[in-house]
Structure 1
């Protein structure tokens, strides 16, 4: 019996959107993508590109509501660098 199942990227997108209390349509508008794109991401039909994942991370940081654990676990590590 599996105790803890890792989240799929579709679950991550859904959880982040719900944490922000946004509909798929409003989340899509925030990211500059279509509603259909968000729907496909959440249903697992497609996955966000690396560029889209970076955009999601930046948007969440700007909104100040990013769940650090989820962001650190699922979004690209390259964005977590120190700027001098």
Structure 2
């Protein structure tokens, strides 16, 4: 999941601080996810999935790859 979080942040062209704010999370949380030091909770996964769906074509391939279903 660390790779997914990093890719998603890059797809949205955001620095960690702004990405955290968009997901209503803290910077240390995003940093830990990207460095594979913490697992995503179910509510966090829901936020990530929602963001992927909102990215439409850019997020569709990632959504299928990581979530195993179409967005």
Whose helix proportion is higher, 1 or 2? 2
How many residues get paired?
71
Partner of 1:10: 2
Task: Flag the structure with larger Rg.
Answer: 1
For normalisation by structure 1, the TM-score amounts to 0.71
Q: Is the 8 A contact 2:33 2:40 kept in 1?
A: yes
For normalisation by structure 2, the TM-score amounts to 0.82
Structure 1 regions of 5+ residues with no counterpart?
A: 1-8
Moved over 6 A (4+): none
C-alpha distance in 2, partners of 1:45/1:66?
A: 26
Equivalent of 1:43, from 35, 42, 59?
A: 35
CA shift, 1:75, in A, is 2.8
Structure 2 regions of 5+ residues with no counterpart?
A: none
Q: Deviations over 1:8-66 (max 9, x none)?
A: x1011001100110011001000001000000000000011122111112133335465
